[in-house]
Every structure is written in C-alpha cells, then in structure tokens.
Amino acid sequence: MTALTIRDVPDDQIHTLKVRAALAGKSLQAFMQELIAREVAKPTMAEMMARLDRETTAEVGARDIVSAIDEGRAGR
C-alpha cells in the first residue's frame, strides 16, 4: 500500500476528524481509510453518465413510439 501525506490541514479540522474517529471507535488512520474508501466508491457524474450511455442505448424510432401509442389507445 502507498502512504498518503496531506499537508496544511487546519488544526480544527484535524480535531474534528479525531473526535469523529473516536466516536466511531476507530483510530484516525482507520477512520480516514474508511472515509477515502466511501468517497472512491461513489461514481462521479461523468462516470454515471458514461454508464447510462452504455447501458441504456435503445434502437427506438419515432414510428415505434407512434405505433406503441396507437396500440395503447386501441386497447382502451
């Protein structure tokens, strides 16, 4: 695993993170690893859009749509 160093983190933010880690029963390191893991597990909007483009392509034309509407109306 690679070590990660973050410089110039304000003291109040470090204090808040330490308190939250303690409340969660974790070390600051374990808490930060979990925080990073949660963040990287969330896809970005660009990643979601790319996934939607891959998974939702359909070969439907205007005629198909009009036909489906007509069939729905005829079934009433």
- Reference 3, options 38, 36, 50; nearest CA is 36
CA distances from 3 to 6, 18, 29, 33, 61 (A): 10, 19, 11, 11, 53
The pLDDT tens digits of the residues spanning 28-61 come to 999 999 999 999 999 999 999 999 888 887 788 8
CA distances from 2 to 5, 21, 68 (A): 10, 21, 56
Query: Average pLDDT, whole number, for the chain?
Result: 93
Spatial distance between the Cα atoms of 69 and 13, rounded to a whole number of angstroms = 58
pLDDT band at 75, cuts 50/70/90? confident
Which pLDDT score, from 0 to 100, does residue 60 have?
84
What residue spans define the domains of the chain? 11-74
Which pLDDT score, from 0 to 100, does residue 26 have?
98
